[in-house]
Amino acid sequence: MNQFIQKYYDTSIPSLGSGGAVKVLSPATVANVVCGFDILGFALNEPNDEFTISLSDEKGVTIINDDAYDLPLDPEKNVSGAALLALLEETPDIKGFHFISKKKIKPGSGIGSSAASAAGAVVAANHLLNNRFTKEDLVRFAMFGEKVASGVKHADNIAPAIYGGVTLIRSIFPLDIVSIDAPELHVTVVHPQIEVRTSDARQILKQRVLLKDAIKQWGNIAGLVAGFIKHDYDLIGRSLEDVIIEPVRSILIPGFDDVKKKCKEAGALGGGISGSGPSIFMLSRNEVIARAVESVMKEVYENIGLAYHTHVTTINQQGVKLL
Ligand code: HSE
């Protein structure tokens, strides 16, 4: 760590609340959960970003990158910065923040990198301000960050990052977020090392849906939510089907069909594209199956000759965590 960054970690700026700096871990998330485009998501226990925030006497948001990604330092162009600026609009008693970003979740990976940045920033700021805002307020601020990242305000990564667990975004205008109970699930993620920009992956989608496809899709969404609540693994597995988005987007991901078929043969309940990709996720009943699924994923990408990362983890019930 260079001395400039160390200085900010060490800074103890008197705040309204606890004083000094607040550090949080902000989780990766899986949006859509196959059939619930823009309305379903869950948080992961791994990987996480780490953010440190403190109050500043300077107006606005000063950003310091302490990671490998060289993200914009202009707060209006930075996902965390835009979310914090939205929060500052509603805190006239606060001048600004120092914000240190230590990201581990690679941008463009499909596991909610931008949401981790936006959600982590506003949850950390809220701790600094003695939790004056509700979780719903924080989702509202964080969506300004998503807009910077993808041009659209969607909450299916942000809401689970802030609330933890599985969340349903019944509506974003006005916000209506519902936490969904779910059984213990193990999640395997493979991230083939290509970048898919969410904005591009949204642009290729068809704007019209056939009624027969819509009927299938809402049957699956209702089945998936019921499967979670009833802890019915078979129903969850049957409902992990997407007839609208996946057929269009999967062409952007080498090996997708092979991964899906072989992971199910290895015992996964099912899965699909994580968010807008290129990561693919699979749900399993237990860790032994989740590890077998990981081996299958590795095998597919070894054969293709494409670099990849994998994660075997569980659903994070807490969301952004204070360190
Ligand atoms: N629902 C969004 C999409 C999630 O699929 O475009 C992006 O992470």
pLDDT digits (tens, 9 = 90+) for 239-282: 999 999 999 999 999 999 999 999 999 999 999 999 999 999 99
Sheet of 270-273: strands edge to edge?
A: 270-273, 280-284, 186-192, 308-314
Q: How far apart are CA 152 and CA 105, in angstroms?
A: 20
pLDDT at 31 over 50: yes
Q: What is the pLDDT of residues 45-102, one digit of tens each?
A: 999 999 999 999 999 999 999 999 999 999 999 999 999 999 999 999 999 999 999 9
Q: Report the distance separating Cα 264 and Cα 275, nearest Å.
A: 19
CA distance 23 to 169: 27
Residue 146 is among the residues annotated as catalytic for this protein: yes
Q: Which of 146, 188, 246, 294 is catalytic?
A: 146
Instruction: Identify the CA nearest to 15 among candidates 94, 120, 131, 92.
Output: 94
Gyration radius of the chain over CA positions: 19
Per-residue CA distances from 109 to 21, 48, 151, 190, 247 (Å): 29, 13, 17, 10, 19
Q: Are 85 and 60 in contact (CB under 8 A)?
A: yes
Mean pLDDT over the full length of the chain: 94
Q: Quick one: pLDDT band at residue 17, thresholds 50, 70, 90? A: very low
pLDDT at 5: 52
Phi, psi for 96 (deg, rounded to 5): -175, -175
Q: Which of 50, 198, 294, 313 is catalytic?
A: 198
Q: Of ligand 1's atoms, which has the minimum distance to the CA of residue 38?
A: 1
Residues with CB under 6 A from ligand 1: 31-32, 37-38, 112, 154, 156-157, 198, 201-202, 275-276
Q: Which CATH class is domain 3-180?
A: alpha beta
For residue 198, indicate whether it is catalytic: yes
> How far, in Å, is the centroid of ligand 1 from the Cα of 275?
4
Asked whether the predicted pLDDT for residue 1 surpasses 70, the reply is no
Index of the ligand 1 atom closest to the CA of residue 110 = 8
The helix/strand/coil state of 61 is strand
Q: Taking the model in full, what pTM does it have?
A: 0.93
CATH class of this structure's domain 186-314: alpha beta
CA 11 to centroid of ligand 1, rounded, Å: 37
Residue 141 clears pLDDT 60, i.e. is over it = yes
The tens digit of pLDDT for each residue in 160-193 reads 999 999 999 999 999 999 999 999 999 999 999 9
Question: Under 8 Å CB-to-CB from 204, ≥6 apart: which residues?
Answer: 248, 249, 252
**Spans of all domains in the chain:** 3-180, 186-314
